[in-house]
Amino acid sequence: MHDRRLATVLIEEDEDSDLEVVTIGDDQSQERPFLPDCALKEDKRLVDEAAARLKALAFNTMAKGIADMGAYLLDTFYEGDPEL
């Protein structure tokens, strides 16, 4: 039987560095949402397909963002002329 409670994830800034500290715990005292039965189903193919889809979405989003930033910089600082 699966435990339907989600783990507690706490992200804090470390005072001594620029890093963030991530703590994953199982604090029973906090109310946490329960997962539906469909979220507990183990389906490697479905997970692999979802991971590939999310990776493609992230790549496309970043590629468009980088292109938009480049176009903005070109227009703003080089009058839209890449030869300048």
Per-residue model confidence as pLDDT tens digits over 26-35: 555 555 566 7
> Does residue 4 contact residue 32 with C-beta atoms inside 8 Å?
no
pLDDT attached to residue 49? 93
Pick left, alpha or beta for residue 5 (phi over 0 → left; psi -120 to 50 → alpha; otherwise beta). Answer: beta
pTM check: above 0.85: no
pLDDT attached to residue 53? 95
- ∠ CA(76), CA(82), CA(84), 5° rounding? 80
Q: Please enumerate in sequence order all residues whose Cβ is within 8 A of that of 6, keeping only pairs 6 or more positions apart, or say none.
A: 32, 33, 35
